[in-house]
Amino acid sequence: MLSQVIEVIENKNNFAITTHVRPDGDGIGSSLGLCLLLRSLGKNAEVILRDEIPESYKQLPGAEEVKKVGAVNGRYDAVFVIECSDIDRPGIGNLENQFVVNIDHHSTCEHFGNVNWIDATASAVGEMIYNLCKAIGGRVSKEIAECVYLALVTDTGSFHFPNTTERTLKVASELVKVGVEPAKISEAVYSSYSWSRIELMRRVISTIQRDPNGKVAWMRQSLADSEAAGAVDGDNNGLVNIPLSAKDIYGVVYMREVQPGTFRVSLRSKGNINIARVAEQFGGGGHKNAAGCRVSGDWDEIEKKLVSAMSDAVEKAEIEYDESERELLLA
């Protein structure tokens, strides 16, 4: 919990911070924000990652200093692991021998750290880093604010998703107060894509299908598509939301072939449809409206199973909704 994290920071001096492989905006923004906070408190801190920082996040303060590593090499008093469901998600060796502080906002997160701070009510880990900064008596500098703001914007889909709460907007407002320019961050994230992303988008969109009820849509990205588009890591970020922008679509399945016969699956839903449970059925996890898993096997067969599980989740949510309505009527 938070008080233990503060204790670790106050009693130790040398820190590393890491997040999951193929880092997203929350992972990067929260890691860089925490690094700046620790340094402002007079501590030694560095961010270590397995993968490259995506192009659109490279302008964040401290991004140029991030170390790309295969294993933990330095001598650290503690390693902060940000936004990871388990100890393997960072893809970095030798982590199990470290004093690990696990910070996450997924309810499905394993308590793999020596200290675990999980706040499933936070819209992003960025929001937790902001709370930590306040709780430890740190100053929210413009640089820290930019990192945290990027985490909030990306994890809430620009404050569109249901994880956007009063607290999220209050934190965002505080960040703007100390100098964040929302338009500048949004432009860096959403209007600085490479053409390869557009090429990839064209191919992926052409595969979109929907079920007879018109409530669940699915689409695919083959290795051949990625190659033909010249796609690089991060080019598919956000594509999964395209079918969801249709009025009657409540669930999306997006399968990406990462090796022949092996797929990364992104699941998305709207409203009261919990698809973390669907992802868990396939060995993954995530949030109520955004989840994922990694699967291997026959593409058509797996796709069928995933679509069917998503359709079930959509139908079940409708039944639950009817029942709660009935309760309201009876009350």
Which listed option, ligand AMP, Mn ion, none, makes contact with residue 155 (CB within 5 to 8 Å by class)?
Answer: Mn ion
Of 148 and 229, CB closest to Mn ion: 148
The residues binding ligand AMP (CB under 6 A) are 85, 106, 266, 284-287, 290-294
Our CB check for Mn ion shows the closer of 154 and 236 to be: 154
- Separation CA 247–CA 118 (nearest Å): 34
- Indicate which of ligand AMP, Mn ion, none lies near residue 293 (CB less than 5 to 8 Å, by partner kind): ligand AMP
Would you say 8 or 244 has its CB closer to ligand AMP?
244
Q: Which residue is nearest to ligand AMP (CB)?
A: 292
Instruction: Note whether 127 binds Mn ion by CB under 5 A.
Output: no
Residue closer to ligand AMP by CB (options 76, 163) is: 163
Phi-psi region of 194 (alpha: psi -120 to 50; beta: other; left: phi over 0): beta
Binding range to Mn ion, per CB under 5 A, among 49-57, 154-162, 258-266, 307-315: 154-162
Residues in the chain: 331
Helices (H), the chain: 2-11, 25-40, 125-135, 142-155, 166-177, 182-190, 195-205, 223-229, 241-244, 276-281, 299-330
- Residue 300's contacts (CB-CB under 8 Å, 6 or more residues apart) are none
Q: Could you say which of Mn ion, ligand AMP, none residue 127 binds, taking C-beta under 5 to 8 angstroms by partner kind? A: none
Q: With CB cut-offs between 5 and 8 Å by kind, which of Mn ion, ligand AMP, none does residue 54 bind?
A: none
| CB-based closest residue to Mn ion | 26
Q: Which position has the token pair 């067969």?
A: 301
CB-nearer residue toward ligand AMP: 44 or 85:
85
3-class secondary structure, 137: coil
Q: Which of 206, 218, 204 is closest to 308 using CA atoms?
A: 218
Shortest Å distance, C-beta 290 to ligand AMP: 4
- Amino acid identity of 245? S
The stretch among 84-92, 123-131, 133-141, 222-230 that binds Mn ion (CB under 5 A) is: 123-131
- State the minimum distance, in angstroms, from the CB of residue 249 to ligand AMP: 16
- Does 155 sit near Mn ion (CB under 5 A)? yes
Amino acid present at 281: Q
Shortest Å distance, C-beta 20 to ligand AMP: 8
85 binds, among ligand AMP, Mn ion, none (CB under 5 to 8 A by kind): ligand AMP
Instruction: Specify the amino acid at residue 280.
Output: E
Give the closest residue to 220 by CA, choosing from 271, 256, 245. Answer: 256
Task: Report d(CA 172, CA 240) in Å as an integer.
Answer: 25
Among ligand AMP, Mn ion, none, what does residue 177 contact (CB within 5–8 Å per kind)?
Answer: none
| The Cα angle at residue 326 between residues 247 and 268, in degrees rounded to 5 | 30
Q: Which is nearer to ligand AMP, 180 or 242 (CB)?
A: 242
Burial of 114 (0-12, 13-18, 19+ CB in 10 A): middle
CB of 287 to ligand AMP, least distance (A): 6
Return the one option of ligand AMP, Mn ion, none that residue 294 interacts with (CB less than 5 to 8 A, by type).
ligand AMP
What's the CA gap between 67 and 191, in Å, rounded? 27
- Looking at 26, 127, 225, 303, which residue binds Mn ion (CB under 5 A)? 26
Using CB under 5 A as the criterion, which residues of the chain lie in contact with Mn ion when the complex forms?
Answer: 26, 83, 124, 155
